[in-house]
Amino acid sequence: MSNKNQELETIFKFDVLEITASWDPEVKIDMKTVVSDLDIFEHLDKPWMTGLLAFEDTSDMMSGIGLGANDRVEVKISRTEDPIGVFCHKFFRIDKIVEKINQGLNENTQVILLHLIEEIWYESNALNVNQSFEGKPGQIIKSISDSFLTDRFVVDYNTAVQDMKVIVPNMTPLDAISWIKNRATTEKGYPLFVYSAMPKAGPNDFFWVMDLEFMLGLEPWTEDAPFNNFASSQTSRGRSQRRTIKAYEHKSSEDLTPLMKQGLIGATHQFIDVTDMKVERVPYNHEKDINDILTERGMKGRPVLPSYYSVHDQKLTEMASEKRSPVGNRVITTIGGIEAYEGIQTIDERDKVSSYKHKPLSAAFKTLLSYDTLVAVVDGYDFTVPQHLNTIGRVMSFLFMSTKTDPETLREQFDKQKTGNYLIYAAKHSFKSEGYDVTLTAVKLTHGEYNDS
């Protein structure tokens, strides 16, 4: 269900300093006056950003001057109150033309919608990595970025402790970075993320390297003034008004079938070592293994993924136990080698049998980030400080009022299931003539932990 505050107006004003398109470094087409909408997307699982750009074509720009796929688009946006404070300066490539719409009876006017992808993705596709790297995952990612990609500064906050030696098998730089981060975990099984975000703090863009354990340990940057759905905020001024949620909805994926097939609810995970033909087997029980980690972090409450479903009168989470599974348990197999390098591990090797559980744990945590989410539209003002990363990978506080009132005080109560601290997983920055909004996709790993006393 979607909830909207129709009376709210956008407070923040921005200036588009530049939107240009070019296929030649010496020739730029000014599109600033014809662009009606620009959306820029960030995602925690992608080391590049994407965009959608809509503009009114009255001069046959697409075919007349040959504007099309692979052409470069430069975007530069600042605060109206501070023209020097550019918070968005990005270079994209036109990936494809999504749509062309004729405007009424005027056959010479079309609205064109372009899909954009960050230029570093375009650059990466022209390059090839086929060499050996050694070190911690963050160090390897930095080596790949420094060697092959332009103007990317790697900020490494990950606590993955496993040193490894890998041979990148003929991949693009971004594919190699994703390959490394998808296999790296912390010593407790938390996944690693490498992502790009919009605020620009200097001459270089950034790759942010963080593991989920580090992210969950961050303090909410909105703790003193959370985003909220209070009706009273619509008539208030300043920070209280701009942090009123304009619209929101909760989305939940009810389909457990993909999780069952991946062995992320209950299964036996085994690693076959082809070097000496050993097989290491570890049982995985989502209810126990995930809950143990969340309880250790003080995140007590009902887990987002249900644990009470059963098959043949047996809980799905217990399907990893051969003794308790008369119908046969699911087995997920990884094949690799160990001790290929003296004194250092390969990318899939672990130093002890119990550590082979890290792979399903990491995958399960990633699944939690998309299983039950809050999608909230807020004013963009708080996301325009170049030195601050306030969107993906950060923790934010949200307050939601319940439809119920306390029978003794007649005061409205907090909705304890919705209210709490959320990790931002994705963000859409929307620039329109009406103003600048940000649509946040956020996840809370457990329900019911908020205490409003």
Q: What is the pLDDT of residue 3?
A: 59
Rounded-to-integer distance, Cα 233 and Cα 374, Å:
20
**How many other β-carbons are positioned within 10 Å of the β-carbon of residue 77?**
23
Rounded-to-integer distance, Cα 39 and Cα 50, Å:
8
Phi and psi based region of residue 23 (left: phi greater than 0; alpha: psi -120 to 50; beta: remaining):
alpha
**How many other β-carbons are positioned within 10 Å of the β-carbon of residue 245?**
24
Burial of 453 (0-12, 13-18, 19+ CB in 10 A): exposed
Rounded-to-integer distance, Cα 115 and Cα 79, Å:
25
User: CA of 195: how far to CAs of 123, 326, 381, in Å?
Assistant: 16, 44, 22
Q: What is the pLDDT of residue 367?
A: 80
Cα Dmax for the chain = 74
Residue type, 288: K
Tell the residue number behind the tokens 């009706």, with chain if given.
231
Residues 401, 391 contacting (CB under 8 angstroms): no
Can you give the pLDDT of all 453 residues of the chain as single tens digits? 345 554 444 455 788 889 999 988 788 889 998 899 999 999 999 999 999 999 888 776 666 667 788 899 999 998 877 766 788 889 999 999 888 777 665 666 788 899 999 999 999 999 999 999 998 899 999 999 999 998 788 888 877 667 888 889 899 999 999 999 988 888 888 899 999 988 665 556 889 999 998 898 888 988 888 898 875 544 455 566 678 899 999 887 667 777 777 777 778 887 777 767 778 788 888 777 777 777 777 665 555 566 666 776 667 666 655 544 444 467 878 776 555 566 666 666 666 656 777 888 888 888 878 777 899 999 998 888 766 788 999 999 998 887 776 656 545 577 877 888 899 999 999 999 888 999 999 988 665 444 444
Closest CA to 227 of 246, 245, 251: 245
Closest CA to 164 of 357, 348, 336: 348
Closest CA to 355 of 216, 239, 189: 189
**How many other β-carbons are positioned within 10 Å of the β-carbon of residue 209?**
27
Closest CA to 94 of 62, 46, 59, 128: 62
The backbone torsions φ and ψ at residue 79, rounded to the nearest 5 degrees and listed phi first, read -70, 140
Rounded-to-integer distance, Cα 304 and Cα 192, Å:
21
Which secondary-structure segment (H or E) carries 181?
A: helix 173-183
Tell the residue number behind the tokens 């703090």, with chain if given.
201
Find all residues with CB under 8 Å of 143, minimum gap 6, and list them. Answer: 133, 135
Can you name the residues that pair with 332 across neighbouring β-strands?
A: 269
User: CA of 433: how far to CAs of 13, 430, 437, in Å?
Assistant: 10, 10, 11
Rounded-to-integer distance, Cα 266 and Cα 248, Å:
33
Closest CA to 309 of 267, 341, 339, 266: 266
pTM listed for this prediction: 0.84
The backbone torsions φ and ψ at residue 151, rounded to the nearest 5 degrees and listed phi first, read 55, 45
Q: What is the pLDDT of residue 83?
A: 64
**How many other β-carbons are positioned within 10 Å of the β-carbon of residue 56?**
16
Q: What is the pLDDT of residue 419?
A: 86
Q: What is the pLDDT of residue 203?
A: 52
Closest CA to 380 of 38, 29, 28: 38
